[in-house]
Structure 1
């Protein structure tokens, strides 16, 4: 039963996460504008988890986003300019210019895995419930 619940939780989390990413990408595609952001600081410099904090303007308001270090930039420093695509209606939804993730081809394997984990989870839970019902019925017959 526990394994089935874990599989179902993975399926729900994976499905929700993939759908959210897809919706954000469509929102940028539909209402996106290009802005120039400026790297304001590097977070965790010198580690493999380096991230950059980028500030950018949308409709005369300043926003910030934290992104993994861009592999195209060898050593970005504060003040470095980057191109961003931002959803005009939701300025917190942002991606680097030219990034097209998630693509349909990237998402189909995720949805296939979500379906597999969901089906396996359901089968585990149903199997547990059927086995429990059979044992209860067997105990009731012999008693």
Structure 2
């Protein structure tokens, strides 16, 4: 691999590209598991996760009702054990404008990815977004 490309990749340790999963629910759950792994790797623990999928909240609450997701839910459960009093809560897209903006921008790219950070990726145009106020 070209050394310049390696430096670019290393600048974004919390950016992950992946192939499309079996279903959108698999992708969402895999992204949540990846975020937990990333936070754990950097010894950062967040006890409050806001997601825009009611089904994912239901999966986490009643994993036995979702046998197709057993492997992913077991991995989540193992990682989640280190989070004291953690919560995964639902918030609709219209109320979660920053996450919705990131999702819309991501759809314009040619691959699926997950992003966990407090700052906006450099490739997103934030001039007409709610991020413009926080940068």
Could you state the TM-score of these two structures normalised by the residue count of structure 2? 0.26
TM-score (norm 1): 0.25
More strand by share: 1
Instruction: Decide which structure has the larger Cα Rg and report it.
Output: 1
